[in-house]
Amino acid sequence: MKYLIAFLLLFIMAINTKSQIADGRYYIQLANGRALEAESGSFKTNGAKTQIWLLYYGLNQLWELKSVPGEPGKYYILNVGGNKALDALDRNVNSNGCKVQLWQHYPGNANQKWIIQPTTGGKYTVRCAASTSNKVLDVTGGAIDRGGAAIQLWDNLSGPNQSWRFTRSYDSAVVRENYVDLSLNQSSLKHQALIQERGSCTYFGNLAALEAAYKKRGYGELDLSEEFFSIMSKVMYLEPYWTRVTGSNVRENQFGATQGGGSIFWLTDGLKIPLERNVPFIQPYPAIPGFPSDNQRIVNDFNATLMTNNVLKAPLYYGASAGVEFTAAQISNVDEYVKVLDMGYEIDVNINHGEHNVLIAGYDKTDPANPKFFVKDSYYNPPGGRFADRTDRKRLCRDMISSPIVGASYITQVTEPSSFPGLPFMGRWKLDFDGFKGTLDIYHIPGLNYTYSGFGGALREREGGTIIPVEKRIGVFYDVAGNAFRVNGKIEGRKIEFYFDLATPNQRWDELRGRKFIYYLDPTQDIMTGFHWDAIDKSFGGYATKASSFIAHGTAPSNIESLIHSSWTMKWGDRSGVVTCRVGEDASRVNGTFNYGTGSSPFSIWYDAPDHNLLNIRVGTSTMKAKFLNHEQGIICGYDNVLGKILLLYKM
């Protein structure tokens, strides 16, 4: 019997051991995601309120669990940002409603010891070890959806306001009295100017902040592409004052990959960045022909060469969904920088009247006579220069910023790594609409409003004038004679809707004039197909390709009988193959087979009953619309708007 009892005790101990949480740093959250935090305005002080709030990854929301020596199953729960312990008001630990606060850590105090008890589904209750009546952490009044709801002790009722998840954190901030060092969250230092200075400090500084934000969230040490940032922040830039865009071929954006500034708000406005291995940094960079130039075509000629597949079609892109800009008053107040660093956010700053960009990643005020910021700077200085000491803290040098700061901002939230919708549309296209041809240069995704008129700057009709609330710019179209027409519209997934107007070639960013085009894109083939409508709402077919030339094809009468006993190439979505038609059922329908690389599908084509100029095409079980081009024999264009696929047939 005694052996059975001993075995059962060992078994219970093993279960308890497995259910215990490992020492480390955690975000402590309710099932709805609300996080336990110390109130942001007071978390450095004894008595600071504890509450729930949306998770924003502040150091006041970061908790370090440390096992109590010699007391298995008990933990200290230390607030990293406050450098203090989670503490139940000692005289009330056996009373419902006992205050839970931050207080200086006293290892011997039982009211700072906690027992974390597993329940179900990876959730836990947190019991105060000092409470003989087994009180647990509880959101006051069960208000689990209300930010700022206070934390207290209460009887264990197993409610959702007493059930907590522990999410492992990867934040490595070092916090002591008068000292915060975020350097261990930083990616490795990269030099922007080992060979040639390209004025790329902004891209290095911004991405250092973004890389740190992702590292703290468990994505490891990312190396994001400064080259992509430098290309796209120039290509997609828009001149902020319309009165300066005096003609349809007057430059409104800039040469990609050259010097120029920006801020983290380029990221929060929607710009996302691939990894360095997808778009490596280029040094030295080739000279730009015709620079500087106010000619939009010259700028496009250069920028189109930069928008290669690795730039536009990387597997994943990384970005920021929220950030904060310092006000003019905050910029000149050192205490404001300390407050932000206390929360665990690195600060991207423009110094020397905007001539240089660095990242502040901590401070040291332990010597009041010699306070310092920890600064990450990508610029290479000779020995003895202002930022020469690069070995300190392995990645950071130290310096107190004394040069004038003209801008400061920080990232608070990042996006889930994903594709970059709209990006594959960018670049130079050969546009063939109903047999009329020209060049379509797409250099902007509508809504990504990047300007230099301040962080998150607005487009205006003139300096100091009315703000243009919605911009729809896509690019510019050049006809065969070289005439330019501004193009506006919208991009949704693989669908693009755009307009240009022969009568108003220089339409403003917010206008939609002239011909309306709706095309679908297949990025694997770099082809768009669809329809456009003229002023009397008559529709026509067309396509666009990124190939060096228009599609070469034979001629054939513009009727479906021309498909019989002849070979036509067909592109449907990402499938490319040959259509062979046997016979027509009657004068209005032809049947056959679409043979592509991995198989085949039944094919039918027939005239639309109400509109004899419109074709119905069925591939397998999918039916779509198409048209013969009126001014170019041997080609049919349309789209599958249900599946969002291109549709193109041409005579071989």
**For residue 117, pLDDT beyond 60:** yes
**Mean of the pLDDT values across residues 297-323?**
96
Q: Is the separation of the CB atoms in 620 and 601 below 8 Å?
A: yes
CATH (domain of 40):
2.80.10.50
* Whole-number Å distance between alpha carbons of 248 and 477: 9
Boundary of a domain, candidates 111, 141, 169: 169
Structure tokens at 609: 């009953």
Q: Look at residue 6 in the predicted model and tell me its pLDDT.
A: 43
Q: Look at residue 317 in the predicted model and tell me its pLDDT.
A: 98
Question: What is the torsion angle, in degrees rounded to the nearest 10, for the CA atoms of residue 559, residue 563, residue 568 and residue 574?
Answer: 80
3-class DSSP state for residue 110? helix
* Whole-number Å distance between alpha carbons of 437 and 550: 9
The residue ranges of DSSP E strands in 204-355, in sequence order, are 320-325, 347-351
Q: If phi over 0 gives left and psi between -120 and 50 gives alpha, with beta otherwise, what is residue 527?
A: beta
Q: Look at residue 570 in the predicted model and tell me its pLDDT.
A: 97
What angle in degrees, to the nearest 10, is found between the helix axes of 226-235 and 201-216? 120
* Whole-number Å distance between alpha carbons of 292 and 296: 11
Most confident of 184-198, 446-460, 626-640: 626-640
* Whole-number Å distance between alpha carbons of 143 and 158: 15
Q: Is residue 201 part of a domain?
A: no
Q: Is residue 36 part of a domain?
A: yes
Q: Quick one: which H or E segment has residue 397?
A: strand 397-399
pLDDT band at 144 (very low <50, low <70, confident <90, very high): very high
pLDDT band at 261 (very low <50, low <70, confident <90, very high): low
**Which residues constitute the domain of residue 623?**
426-446+471-651
**For residue 547, pLDDT beyond 50:** yes
pLDDT band at 59 (very low <50, low <70, confident <90, very high): very high
**For residue 455, pLDDT beyond 80:** no
* Whole-number Å distance between alpha carbons of 359 and 161: 39
Q: Is residue 12 part of a domain?
A: no
Q: Look at residue 57 in the predicted model and tell me its pLDDT.
A: 96
Cis peptide before 421 (omega within 30 of 0): no
Q: Is the separation of the CB atoms in 380 and 194 below 8 Å?
A: yes
pLDDT band at 464 (very low <50, low <70, confident <90, very high): confident
HSE of 614, CA atoms in CB hemisphere, 13 A: 13
3-class DSSP state for residue 568? strand
The proportion of the chain whose per-residue pLDDT surpasses 70, expressed as a percent, equals 90
Which one is predicted more confidently, 184 or 261? 184
Q: Look at residue 438 in the predicted model and tell me its pLDDT.
A: 98
Q: Look at residue 454 in the predicted model and tell me its pLDDT.
A: 42
Boundary of a domain, candidates 135, 153, 169: 169
Structure tokens at 379: 């610029």
Number of H helices, E strands in the chain: 8, 36
Largest CA distance in the chain: 101
Q: Is the separation of the CB atoms in 640 and 624 below 8 Å?
A: yes
Q: Look at residue 578 in the predicted model and tell me its pLDDT.
A: 97
Q: Look at residue 265 in the predicted model and tell me its pLDDT.
A: 85
**For residue 8, pLDDT beyond 60:** no
Please provide residue 102's backbone torsions phi and psi, each rounded to the nearest 5 degrees: -100, 145
pLDDT band at 353 (very low <50, low <70, confident <90, very high): low
**For residue 231, pLDDT beyond 60:** yes
Q: Is residue 255 part of a domain?
A: no
Q: Is residue 639 part of a domain?
A: yes
The proportion of the chain whose per-residue pLDDT surpasses 90, expressed as a percent, equals 73
**For residue 80, pLDDT beyond 70:** yes
* Whole-number Å distance between alpha carbons of 444 and 210: 23
Task: Give the tens place of pLDDT for each residue, 12-37.
Answer: 333 444 468 999 999 999 999 999 99
Give 496-562 as a DSSP string.
Answer: EEEEE-SS-TT--TT---SEEEEEEEETTTTEEEEEEE-TT--EEEEEEE-SSSPPP-----SSGGG
Task: Give the tens place of pLDDT for each residue, 367-418.
Answer: 888 888 888 888 765 444 333 333 333 334 444 455 678 889 999 999 999 9
Structure tokens at 179: 């000292």
Structure tokens at 65: 């669990």
Q: Is residue 356 part of a domain?
A: no
Question: What is the torsion angle, in degrees rounded to the nearest 10, for the CA atoms of residue 409, residue 224, residue 422 and residue 230?
Answer: 70
Q: Is residue 540 part of a domain?
A: yes
Boundary of a domain, candidates 112, 145, 169: 169
Give 45-97 as a DSSP string.
Answer: STT-BEEEE-----GGG-EEEEEPTT-TTEEEEEETTTTEEEEE-GGGTTSTT
Q: Which of 185, 161, 187 is nearest to 173 (CA)?
A: 185
Q: Which of 19, 120, 36 is nearest to 78 (CA)?
A: 36
The CA angle 593-597-600, to the nearest 5 degrees, is 25
Q: Is residue 355 part of a domain?
A: no
Residues in the chain: 652
pLDDT band at 451 (very low <50, low <70, confident <90, very high): low
Total number of domains in the chain: 2
**For residue 41, pLDDT beyond 70:** yes
For tokens 């500034």, name the residue: 261
